Structure formats: structure tokens, C-alpha cells
Amino acid sequence: MSPADLAAFSWNAAREHLDLFGSLGLCLGFVGGMMPRRSLILVTSAACSACFALHFLQLGAQTGTAMCLVSVMQSLVAARWIGPDARAAWVAPLFLASSLVALGLTFATWNGWPSACAGLGSLLATTARLQGNAQAMRRVFLGASSCWVIHNTLVGSVFGLTCDLLTITALVIALVRGGAAKPVSQPATAVSPIGPLPGAA
């Protein structure tokens, strides 16, 4: 096989994945994980999910498309009406209802393991959006992104898989950075001439 034939073969294999929505979703997924504030994480996540809904639609991954649309709604609601100290009373019932819709869509568009992973990823992401603390939200999003890694591997989404890996990387960086910014204060160690006192360690 000549280099020209190899290049043509590679292009034909990859071009179905090279769409504008996948590219935008990939960029937004990484940026979202690095955002400093909870509200910015959620708004960027909504934009990323909207892009991937269109990307999965092109691939024929219907469950992934449906889960992304639910994600857009939940992210925007969580950004506006859930805070560190309180949330609107109607948010929990809305999220419960949307989770039931997501469950129904998972079964309606069932395609085996891809659907199972998309459904579990959506459930974990819903749990993450209900968190009022940015670090807690990032930790649960790690689990959701791991489910989407499997989904995107199974449906053959190069952009989706790349986005998930970048998102996981960004979340880990942000979690480490956030943990380092708030060091846990250590109690003072009592010292005697013969060493630490019992129970002081």
C-alpha cells in the first residue's frame, strides 16, 4: 500500500468523526473541568453537552443524544438555582423527573452496553449537578466521565473519547489544585524530652 493509499484510507476512516460539533464539544469538555467556579463549570458543561448531542445524533447513538439533552437542561438549572448553601425547592423534583425520563429514554433507545453506560453516566452526572460544592461536584463527575469513556469507545466516537480523557485529566488537575489551596490544619504535636507524648501523634 502506497503512502497515498494509506492517507486516503486513514481519511475515510476518520472523516465521519471530524465534525464541528465534536470539535467544539472536545474543547468545551476540557475547559469545563478547569473552570474555577461551580456556575462556570455547569454552563460550560451545558454547552459541551449540546455539542455532543448533535455529534452523537450524527453517529446514530440515540441514547447518548438523549442523555446529552437531559444534561443540558440539568446543567443550566443547577447553575442558576443550586448554590453552596441552598437550592430552590422545585429543583429536586425536577431532577428526579428528568432522571426518570433519562431512564425511560435509555430503555426506549436501548442498544446494549453503550446504552447502559450512557444511562449510568447520566445518573452520576445528575448526582454531581446536585452538589453545592465545586470539589464534590468534580469528584462525582469523574465517575460519570468514566462511564462515558466506555460508551464512546463502544460507539466509536473519537471526539467523545478524547473529550472524556481530557475532561478526566482536567478534573483531576482541578481537584488536586483545589485540595492544595486549602491545606488541612494539623494539630500541634506535644513533645517531651523523651519524644512525642502518647496519643499526640
**Residue 60 belongs to domain spanning:** 21-80+97-180
Q: Considering the domain boundaries, does residue 196 fall inside one?
A: no
- Our count of domains for the chain comes to 1
Q: Considering the domain boundaries, does residue 192 fall inside one?
A: no
Task: Specify the DSSP class assigned to residue 194.
Answer: T
Tell me the helix, strand and coil percentages in the chain, rounded to 5: 75, 5, 20
Q: Considering the domain boundaries, does residue 134 fall inside one?
A: yes
Q: Considering the domain boundaries, does residue 174 fall inside one?
A: yes
Q: Considering the domain boundaries, does residue 101 fall inside one?
A: yes
Q: Which residues pair with 87 in a beta bridge?
A: 82
Q: Considering the domain boundaries, does residue 176 fall inside one?
A: yes
Which DSSP helix (H) or strand (E) runs through 196? strand 195-196
Q: Considering the domain boundaries, does residue 125 fall inside one?
A: yes
One pLDDT digit (tens) per residue for the chain, 201 residues: 677 776 666 556 555 555 788 889 889 988 988 898 999 999 999 999 999 999 888 888 888 888 899 999 999 999 999 988 888 899 999 999 999 998 898 888 888 999 999 889 999 999 999 998 999 999 999 999 999 999 999 998 888 899 999 999 999 999 999 877 665 555 544 433 333 334 444
Q: Give residue 1's identity as a one-letter amino acid code.
A: M
Q: Considering the domain boundaries, does residue 185 fall inside one?
A: no
**Please, are residues 32 and 48 in contact by the beta-carbon 8 Å criterion?**
yes
